[in-house]
Amino acid sequence: MTAIVTVPIASTSLLAYRRCLSLFSLAPRIPTNTISTNASNFLFSPLKRRPLQTQASLSRELTATTTKDRQITRNVVEILEQRGLIESITSENLRSACSLKDSHPPLKVYCGFDPTAESLHLGNLIGIIVLSWFQKCGHKPVAVLGGATGRVGDPSGKSSERPDLDDVTLEKNIKGIKSILNNILSRFGDDKFVILNNYDWWKDVSFLEFLKNVGKYARVGVMMSKESVKKRLESEQGMSFTEFSYQLLQGYDFLHLYKNEGISVQIGGSDQWGNITAGTELIRKILAAEGAYGLTFPLLLKSDGTKFGKSEEGAIWLSPALQSPYKFYQYFFTVPDSDVVRFLRILTFLEIEEIEEIGREMKRPGYVPNSAQRRLAEELTSFVHGEEGLKEAIKATEALRPGFDTKLDWKTIEGIAEDVPSCSLAYDEVLNLSIVDISVLSGLLESKSAVRRMLKQGGLYLNNSRIDSESKKIEAHDIVDGKVLLLSAGKKNKMVVRVS
């Protein structure tokens, strides 16, 4: 969830209590064999696979009226279940609550995003996709930024406590994440989603008020039985009281949203089960209400079983400022064949039948390698970066294919500059320089003789146009937008020359 501010204890705000709590530790380590496992108070219902009706075709024209009508008559839980996007739900009653055709009103569904970085990453994408499925099926998605909880830090799935972030960084992160969510969720209609910040209701809650009104309903034994807590208690580092309290903060978020915003469903990754059920339990105890539901989805894992995340090396960011649409596209264009059908199922809105046909096509003779990956990359890049981002990614991809008939511009070449070698040369140094000399000076090839051999083999390109004569000199119109050149020797050896 998102950001927060500094405050004094008791009479001011609850969020200040982190400073006070930093004076304490968890005291002696609790032996693992004394930890209570009395978590049976929480409802748990693992979903069972079962055959579903054939889905209607879902095209990229998501706003088409007939497509909307078909989607609203379908139960979103069944859709998510069929696509492998449900790990567990707190009650089977959620299934019937989602059935708009049975005169049930649309649900408000929320997912939380803590502002621990200025961009969401690929690991967050499933949460957005599940929200979007609810949205496409007639319900209202709500994204909750953790302006408050982001200061405490969710221990779920972490082996150590998250570092503290200052106010300026938190606000910057909130702004970046809100922009991403706005861009993606608005693809289904600007008025069909809500973005909230939990600092807005936490800022006036005092520590003593929280203990009195919420803390007394929390059972320590149940809190300690949460998987995320047990793992940290068993670790060498242990867990601070601040982190231990996180599940209550998120639980109170659900209570507040249920009571004041009419939000009855919280979704999250499978590692959020304990935090989500903390909320449903508080709603049951404090409000004496039974209409709150939790739903978790599997974490997005790589082929080696590790999860995607911003703290992991090679994070796939959703912000174009941190990762260009081209690089985002290239990541999915190069995923292994063993992952592509699974990713199509959980990360796109393509019809299941079409995905299954793509899987069958991959096994047939004559299948063009990476065709399935191309479809995956197109669908995901369009969803995250929009049609313009997809066009940019495809154009940059074509820029890496010597001889391909596409007009290059400075932005396109810069889009690939991080993935190929580059150098900087002065404008006067480049103008009227022979293709042989600039190929050596830039470092594209090691010698003039190597350049001449490449010329004879027909493998030397300037801005994707084949060069047939060593007498070719660099002219002003060759310098793309007066800023860059793209040199290629064969299919893979490239050099971006920045001209200053």
367 and 235 inside one domain: no
Last residue of a domain, one of 350, 369, 399: 399
Task: Specify whether 245 is located in the same domain as 111.
Answer: yes
Backbone conformation region of residue 372, classed left if phi is above 0, alpha if psi is from -120 to 50, else beta: alpha
Is the same domain home to 139 and 185? yes
Centroid of chain to Cα 30: 36
Taking only the tens place, the pLDDT of each residue in 92-107 is 999 989 987 767 789 9
Same-domain status, 489 and 373: no
Task: Indicate whether 361 and 486 sit together in one domain.
Answer: no
256: Cα separation from own chain's centroid: 26
The pLDDT tens digits for 30-75 are 333 333 333 333 333 333 333 333 233 334 444 344 445 455 567 9
Share of the chain above pLDDT 90, in %: 46
Asked if residue 267 and residue 148 are part of one domain, the reply reads: yes
Q: pTM above the 0.85 mark?
A: no
Assigned domain for 406 exists: no
420 and 391 housed in the same domain: no
> What per-residue confidence (pLDDT) applies to 274?
87
Q: Distance (Å, rounded) from C-alpha 95 to C-alpha 359?
A: 29
Q: Could you give the number of structural domains in the chain?
A: 3
CATH number at residue 239: 3.40.50.620
* φ, ψ (nearest 5 deg) of residue 485: -130, 150
The label of the residue with tokens 């995320």 reads 228
Instruction: Mark which of 399, 429, 454 sits at the end of a domain.
Output: 399
Would you state the pLDDT for residue 23? 34
The answer to the question of residue 314 being in a domain is no
Distance CA 16, CA 248 (A): 16
Per DSSP, helices labelled H in 400-467 are 410-416, 427-430, 435-441, 448-456
In 156-291, where do the E strands start and end? 194-197, 265-269
**Other beta carbons less than 10 A from residue 279's beta carbon:** 24
Percent of the chain with pLDDT over 70: 77
